[in-house]
Amino acid sequence: MGDVLRQLVIVLCLVLVAASTLPVLAGIYQYLLLPLHGVRNHWKDCAPYLPRVVVVVPAWNEGAVLEPSLERLMHLEYPPDRLRVFVVDDASTDDTPDVTREMARRYPGRIRHLRRDQGGQGKAHTLNHGITAALADDWMQALLVMDADVVYRPDSLRRMTRHLADERIGAVTGYIKEGSGRPGTVARFIGFEYITAQAAARRAQNVLGAMACLAGGAQLHSRANLEAVGGGIDTTTLAEDTFTTFLTQLDGRRVVFDPTAVVLAEEPESVRALWKQRLRWARGNVQITSHFRRLWFRPSRDHRLGSLSFGLIWFSVYLLPVAAVAAAAGLLTLQAIDAVAAATVFRSLWWVTALGYVYVTILSLVLDPDTARRTWLQAVLFPGVGALLVMAAAWAPWLWQEWIPDLLGTELGAGTRTALTWVMYAWPLLAMALAWVARWLEGAVRWRLPSVAMLYVVGFGPLLCAITLDAYVKEWRGASRAWDKTEKTGRVVG
């Protein structure tokens, strides 16, 4: 290889590795914004406001979870004569209709059963059935979209409606927390992830004035906003909540997050169930990114979605698998050309990653101490045991080069050292590959322990990267966009 070509390849490798740090830097940036939420928030513009609210609950075979959710709605700290619930039964084949009718009998005039004869078209179609009914008369002033399994804390709706006292606000979302009584490993990982993706990220987005997504189980719209975005929910994507969030802001109204409006939800308890849920979400984000491609990095006076900050935050999540591939490709290629330079770049990359990991983890646990008590282990192991070992190798190479061999009373041969180096440099790719193995294990082995152990090794973050990569492939292949709901069993404890 000629000197000029060699230098060009080295520069390209450096660019790839540097680009792979952008998601980490974007995460740090969001967390640096959190203190500003104390002064840049919407609370100062809130006022006591109790509009007439219609709650739309889409329900397909939700008999196991529906009654407690409706019961809690009926006991919210909200005037009973200003709250109505429309349960939209999507041609359920279980006891959902019976449960709904019994609840309607128990609370006459407050709960209404709407039956769709043709089901299976997806959540957006089901929601639109209820929204159309809610808009049919002038009674409704605000509309709350929720999931059939979530449980609202008594003051949550009142905390959300106070924002709508400001006519500039089109929609409000609350803080979805994992609320199972005895969550398993996967649910505990999700519990910690929700701190980072909601309690932290959405606070930062409040500061920026641009919201990525209204939580599907807690989105409150003013009537004016619903009518302005077309009187219904988009049915062309798998991310109808994100689509509506974008439309609201593009039309000049703000979307805000209230971290004190807490809603408890049941989350998947297995890798395969999580994969199914997050694949739908990730494919929806691919569709949203493409549909709104003309707004990215194009600042506007009417909204902040086109700002540089919001674009970096959005794409830092959207392109996480690309960043993993870039890091591995850059390091492996550099190792083949200049092993000394590769070692230096490797240490720099993982030092940045380690700083981001420590900072984000500690601050996340401080943000929600209640969840932290249940998920501290998953928080520490979020990047995976494998990534933590790679970080340790970057921080202190003497650990695996000298200390561990001395402890074991052996020496690492040159071939073993080289193999370990290649494994460490390729770890981001290997972790995503092993995430697929964890999913396969869960389906192939009835005993769940092997897949759970694999999840701790791989890490929850790399698992989400693998799912996003799967979403890229399925969208590229034009796979079916059927809405595949997550099964719930009623484990939420309010």
Write down the residue that tokens 């006076």 correspond to.
301
Average pLDDT of the segment spanning 335-347: 92
Q: Is 188 inside a domain boundary?
A: yes
C-alpha span between 331 and 345 (Å, rounded): 8
Tokens of 494: 């309010």
Residue 182 shares a structural domain with residue 46: yes
Say if residue 483's pLDDT is above 70: no
Question: Are 385 and 268 within one domain?
Answer: no
* Residue 311 maps to a domain: no
Asked whether residue 491 is assigned to any structural domain, the reply reads no
Same domain, 467 and 421: yes
Task: Report whether pLDDT(335) > 70.
Answer: yes
**152 and 207 in one domain?**
yes
pLDDT at 18: 94
For CA atoms 41, 42, 48, 53, the dihedral sign is negative
Residue 91 pLDDT: 83
260 and 395 belong to one structural domain: no
CATH of the domain at 176: 3.90.550.10
The pLDDT of 12-23, averaged and rounded, is: 93
Give the whole-angstrom CA distance, residue 66 versus residue 177. 18
Assigned domain for 62 exists: yes
pLDDT score of 44: 92
In a domain, 34, yes or no: no
What's the pLDDT tens digit per position in 148-197?
Answer: 889 999 999 999 999 999 999 999 999 999 988 788 999 999 999 999 99
Q: How far is CA 160 from the centre of its chain?
A: 21
Give the 3-state DSSP-derived string for 307-358, with helices as H, strands as E and coil as C: CHHHHHHHHHHHCHHHHHHHHHHHHHHHHHHCHHHHHHHHHHHHHHHHHHHH
| Structural domain harbouring 390 | 3-17+317-477
Q: Is residue 106 part of a domain?
A: yes
Q: Give the integer Cα–Cα distance in Å for 467 and 436.
A: 9
Q: Are residues 73 and 192 in the same domain?
A: yes
Query: pLDDT tens digit string along 48-65?
Result: 999 999 999 999 888 888
Query: pLDDT tens for residues 120-151?
Result: 778 889 999 999 999 999 999 999 999 988 99
For residue range 394-449, what is the model confidence (pLDDT) as tens digits?
A: 888 777 677 766 666 677 777 777 888 899 999 999 999 999 999 998 888 776 77
Query: Exposure of 69 by Cβ count < 10 A (0-12 exposed, 13-18 middle, 19+ buried)?
Result: buried
Examine the domain organization and report whether 217 and 271 are in the same domain. yes
> How far is it, in rounded angstroms, from Cα 249 to Cα 246?
5
Same domain, 190 and 334: no
Residue 450: pLDDT over 90: no
**Residue 7 pLDDT:** 87
Give the pLDDT mean for 288-307: 95
If asked whether residues 186 and 229 sit together in one domain, one would say yes
At 315-331, the pLDDT tens digits run 999 999 999 999 999 99
pTM for the structure as a whole: 0.92
247-281 confidence digits (pLDDT tens):
999 999 999 999 999 999 989 989 999 999 999 99
pLDDT of residue 420: 87
Three-state DSSP at 305 gives: coil
In terms of domains, do 341 and 250 share one? no
Question: Within a domain: residue 278?
Answer: yes
At residue 289, the pLDDT reads: 96
Indicate whether 73 and 12 sit together in one domain.
no
Residues 283 and 341 in one domain: no
- Domains identified in the chain, total number: 2
In a domain, 389, yes or no: yes
pLDDT at residue 469 in the model: 96
pLDDT at 298: 95
* 42 within 8 A of 166, measured Cβ to Cβ: yes
494 three-class SS? coil
Residues 203-226: tens digit of each pLDDT: 999 999 999 999 989 999 999 999
